[in-house]
Amino acid sequence: MRIVDLLSPKAMQLGAHPADKAAAIDALVDLHEAAGNLVDKEKYKQAILAREELGTTAVGEGIAIPHAKTDATKHAALAAMTAPDGVDYGAPDGQPSTLLFMIAAPDDGGEVHLEVLSRLMTILMDIDFRKSLMEAATPEEFLKLIDAKENERFADEVKQDAVADMEGNVEGTEYLIDEAKAEHREHKVEKEEAQAQAEGYRILAVTACPTGIAHTYMAAEALVNAADARGIALKAETNGSGGTKNKLTNAEIEAADGIIVAADKEVSMDRFDGKPVVIVKVADGINKPDELIDRVLDGNAKIYHSASSKRVEDETGSDESVGRKIYKHLMEGVSHMLPFVVSGGLFIAVAFLIDSIAGVPQDSSFGTGTPVSAWFKTIGGFAFSFMVPILAAYIAKSIADRPGLVVGFVGGFMATLGSTFGLPGGDVPSGFLGGLLAGFAGGYMMLGIEKLCDKMPDSLAGIKQILIYPLAGLAAISLFMCLVGPIMGAINTAMSDALTWLADNDYGIILGIILGAMMAIDMGGPFNKAAYVFGTGMLSLGTDAAYEIMASVMIGGMVPPLAIALSTTLFKNRWTEEERKNGPVNYIMGLSFITEGAIPYAASDPLRVIPACIIGSGVAGGLSWLFGCTLMAPHGGIFVVPVIGNALMYLVALAIGAVVGMLMLAILKKKQ
How many other CB atoms sit within 10 Å of the CB of residue 484?
A: 16
Which of 102-116, 154-168, 460-474 holds the top average pLDDT?
460-474
By CB atoms closer than 10 A (0-12, 13-18, 19+), residue 515 is buried
**Whole-prediction pTM value?**
0.51
Alpha-carbon gap, residue 143 to 126, rounded angstroms: 16
Residue 568 has what pLDDT?
Answer: 93
By CB atoms closer than 10 A (0-12, 13-18, 19+), residue 187 is middle
Within 264-346, strands assigned E span: 276-280, 302-303
Which stretches of 82-173 are DSSP H helices? 112-124, 127-135, 139-153, 155-169
Q: Catalytic residue at 67?
A: yes
More confident residue, 49 or 182: 49
Alpha-carbon gap, residue 654 to 424, rounded angstroms: 45
What's the Rg (C-alpha) of the chain? 27
Alpha-carbon gap, residue 553 to 534, rounded angstroms: 9
Sequence-distant (≥ 6) Cβ neighbours of residue 279 within 8 angstroms: 261, 263, 304, 318, 319, 320
Considering the chain, what is the average pLDDT of its residues? 81
Instruction: Tell whether the torsion through CA atoms of 276, 281, 283 and 288 is positive or negative.
Output: negative
Residue 559 has what pLDDT?
Answer: 95
Closest CA to 439 of 480, 400, 411: 411
Cα–Cα distances (Å) from 614 to 19, 313, 575, 642, in that order, read 33, 41, 19, 27
Phi-psi region of 359 (alpha: psi -120 to 50; beta: other; left: phi over 0): left
Instruction: Tell whether the torsion through CA atoms of 35, 37, 41 and 44 is positive or negative.
Output: negative
Residue 474 has what pLDDT?
Answer: 93
Band of residue 369 on the pLDDT scale cut at 50, 70, 90: confident
Residue 123 has what pLDDT?
Answer: 82
Out of 32, 209, 453, 613, pick the active-site residue. Answer: 209
Cα–Cα distances (Å) from 340 to 348, 361, 392, in that order, read 12, 28, 13
Band of residue 222 on the pLDDT scale cut at 50, 70, 90: confident
Alpha-carbon gap, residue 208 to 446, rounded angstroms: 25
DSSP H or E stretch at residue 58: strand 58-60
Alpha-carbon gap, residue 234 to 232, rounded angstroms: 6
Q: Is residue 193 predicted with pLDDT exceeding 50? A: no
Band of residue 162 on the pLDDT scale cut at 50, 70, 90: very low
Instruction: Tell whether the torsion through CA atoms of 579, 581, 583 and 589 is positive or negative.
Output: negative
| DSSP assignment letter at 157 | H
Q: Catalytic residue at 209?
A: yes
260 pairs with which residues across the strands?
205, 278
Which of 179-183, 323-327, 411-415, 529-533 holds the top average pLDDT?
411-415
Sequence-distant (≥ 6) Cβ neighbours of residue 520 within 8 angstroms: 528, 556, 557, 559, 560, 595, 598, 610, 613, 614, 616, 617, 618
pLDDT per position as a tens digit, 433-484: 788 899 999 999 999 998 888 777 766 666 777 788 889 999 999 999 988 8
Average pLDDT over residues 355-367: 74
| DSSP assignment letter at 248 | P
Alpha-carbon torsion, ordered 173, 175, 181, 183, to 10 deg: -120
Q: Is residue 623 predicted with pLDDT exceeding 50? A: yes
pLDDT per position as a tens digit, 31-54: 999 999 999 999 999 989 988 887
Band of residue 556 on the pLDDT scale cut at 50, 70, 90: very high
Residue 109 has what pLDDT?
Answer: 56
Cα–Cα distances (Å) from 193 to 454, 474, 613, in that order, read 39, 51, 56
Average pLDDT over residues 607-614: 92
Cα–Cα distances (Å) from 517 to 429, 491, 530, 661, in that order, read 30, 25, 12, 11
Sequence-distant (≥ 6) Cβ neighbours of residue 492 within 8 angstroms: 428, 429, 430, 431, 432, 433, 434
Band of residue 84 on the pLDDT scale cut at 50, 70, 90: very high
- Sort strands 77-87 and 7-13 into parallel, antiparallel or unpaired: parallel
| DSSP assignment letter at 643 | G
Average pLDDT over residues 274-299: 87
Where is average pLDDT lowest: 8-17, 96-105, 216-225, 330-339? 330-339
Alpha-carbon gap, residue 208 to 218, rounded angstroms: 10
C-alpha 170 chain-centroid distance: 47
Given a contact cutoff of 8 angstroms between Cβ atoms, the answer to whether 426 and 489 are in contact is yes
Instruction: Tell whether the torsion through CA atoms of 463, 464, 468 and 473 is positive or negative.
Output: negative
Q: Is residue 310 predicted with pLDDT exceeding 50? A: no
Out of 67, 113, 215, 329, pick the active-site residue. Answer: 67
Buried b (16+ CB within 10 A) or exposed e, 117-144: bbbbbbbbbbeebbebbbebeebeebbe
Instruction: Tell whether the torsion through CA atoms of 620, 622, 623 and 629 is positive or negative.
Output: positive
**Cα within 13 Å of Cα(495), Cβ side:** 23
